[in-house]
Amino acid sequence: MKMLPPSFRNVNAAILSILISIVAVGCSSSPEPLLEIAPAPGDLTSVEGLEESSLFDVSVNGRDTFVYRGFQKDFNKYDFGKKGGHYVNFAFANTAVTIDVKTSRPFESYSVKPTQAKVELVSDTELRVTLDDPSKFLVTAEFEDGGENWLVIAADGPEVDAPKKGDEGVLYLEAGIHDFGRSWDPFIDGIDTVYMELGAVVEATLKVVGKEGLTIKGRGLFAQGFRPHAKVEDPLQTEWLGDCMGAYFRECKDLTFEGFAVINCPSYQLEVADCDNVSIQNIKALGFGWNNNDGLHLYSRNVTVENSFIAGNDDRICVTGLFDSEDRVIKTVADQKPRIKGCDVGNLTIRDNVFWGQRNGGDIMLTWNGSHTCENVLIENCKSIGFTNKGFLSAMHGGSVVIKNVMIRDIEIYHHRLTSVLVRDAKTWGDGGGAIDGLTLENISIHAEPKDVSLKLTGWSDESPIKNVTLRNITANGQKITSFDQTSIETNEFLKDVVWE
């Protein structure tokens, strides 16, 4: 058999490869567009503080989707908490979507944050937002007779690895109303996964201690308006007690939280205390108004929080602090402090999140009086859309922990309050003597004039300073800041070793 020269063999191979590619492309088809709309969950009249919105109507590519309104009725010094907020969730892929938001009465003004690529004012009762990719954002409509009203839109991508009904170890909650009550622990009798369908409304607060390999996922909603704030029920109870939180996981390992929403939480929305290996993905923490309704407490090791929308009328994320050890019965006020403990905290990654603060607290609260150790905290590619009484980065540090190696980068802030970080003396169950050592802020974009950027960056003493601080590429309305003198940030002599770049 006569062999072709190598050059001809190479050419023939190349031609064959091209023909195969052409055939493959010709035979392949584009991925099917996906649009999953939230169904009505059923009769909500029995669900405390939750109803269908009568103010906002939302359709996606012409299809109506269910809009929730969550609100509180009792023990609320903030009137806007009674007004509540609105929430809608859907999923899409392989297609653009047009979201039409209509209001039942004309609005005077509106905003959409974080900024979306295409927003159109159709009329004084309708906005249109076009998305090519998944996004989570806040629509604020202001009315002459009702002030601001809020709608959180979670336009998700499709679910991945959703379990099926009947899978071993899965508690599968279909669309509809489910009532499990206070301090529910679903992880019994071989259950290691709770799955909530889109359209599932679960009335429950959770409390889980000393377990491992647990998952809560899905696109359902935890409704917690049935649970009063702790002080309503018993003056000896406070918001930090494990039985008084939205979800409390202590001394657990290998936890996954993914996809679901929490609304009307009476206190801290999710606390993981002294846990290891925690993944929090695509959570919607919707704290519409309770005082003390912090978003996430991450008092653990090896924790990741990604792609989430975290709202609250107090701190959105607390990095390290004290928690309820439940090691004694509280009979008097004097019994409270001995129950409050700390733990080692480290290797936290917080990225690709949206933070919405309403009146109170910081988006990243490094600590309220933590103890033990805390190091290696990375916060990146996040957006802060709410103006509060504290800064995006905050600390009220009256504890003993020395917080080390905090990197904050690629942050967009839609207001002027950058930092409210202070180390102070012992306070509120803290032992004092703590410090912050190693803090970097890099690529921070602030929507304000440099002179308006505030608040504080102050140490307490030579023994309790804030030190080894680097501020790199900090801009306000596009102007680079290279000195505290350009801003309104208060500093003192116990802020040491600062470098501007």
Report yes or no on 372 lying in a domain: yes
Which domain covers residue 312, as residue numbers?
170-500
Q: Looking at the predicted structure, is the pLDDT value of residue 473 above 70?
A: yes
Give the per-residue pLDDT at 156: 98
446 and 379 within one domain: yes
Are 369 and 341 in contact by the 8 Å Cβ rule? The answer is no
| Residue where one domain finishes, among candidates 111, 128, 156 | 156
Residue 4 in domain? no
CATH number at residue 440: 2.160.20.10
Give me the pLDDT at residue 495, please.
98
Residue 15 has pLDDT above 90, yes or no: no
Distance CA 195, CA 163 (A): 7
Place of tokens 């290891």: 276
* Distance of alpha carbon 360 from alpha carbon 404, whole angstroms: 26
pLDDT band at 11 (very low <50, low <70, confident <90, very high): very low
Find where tokens 């933590």 sit.
370
Does 387 share its domain with 447? Answer: yes
In our burial notation (b when 16+ CB lie closer than 10 A, e otherwise), range 452-461 reads ebbbbbbbbe
Decide which of 115 and 214 is more confident. Answer: 214
Distance CA 137, CA 406 (A): 27
Q: State the Cα–Cα distance between residues 498 and 256, nearest whole angstrom.
A: 38
Pair (145, 178) in one structural domain:
no
DSSP 300: E
- Quick one: pLDDT at residue 336? 83
Choose the final residue of a domain: 112, 130, 156. Answer: 156
Beta carbons within 8 Å of 143's beta carbon, 6+ residues apart? 103, 105, 106, 107, 108, 149
Average pLDDT over residues 264-288: 95
* Structural domain includes residue 7: no
Question: Is the residue at 105 inside a domain?
Answer: yes
- In this structure, the answer to whether residues 122 and 250 fall within a common structural domain is no
Give the pLDDT score at 77: 56
Q: Assess whether pLDDT exceeds 90 at residue 194.
A: yes
324-383 confidence digits (pLDDT tens): 999 988 888 888 888 999 999 999 999 999 999 988 899 999 998 899 999 999 999 999
Nearest to 81 by CA among 337, 260, 408, 311: 311
Q: Do 186 and 98 fall within a single domain?
A: no
How far are the Cα atoms of 58, 86, 108 from residue 125, in angstroms, in the given order? 12, 16, 9
In a domain, 17, yes or no: no
Both 132 and 180 in one domain: the answer is no
For the entire predicted model, the pTM comes to 0.92
For the chain, percent of residues with pLDDT exceeding 70:
90
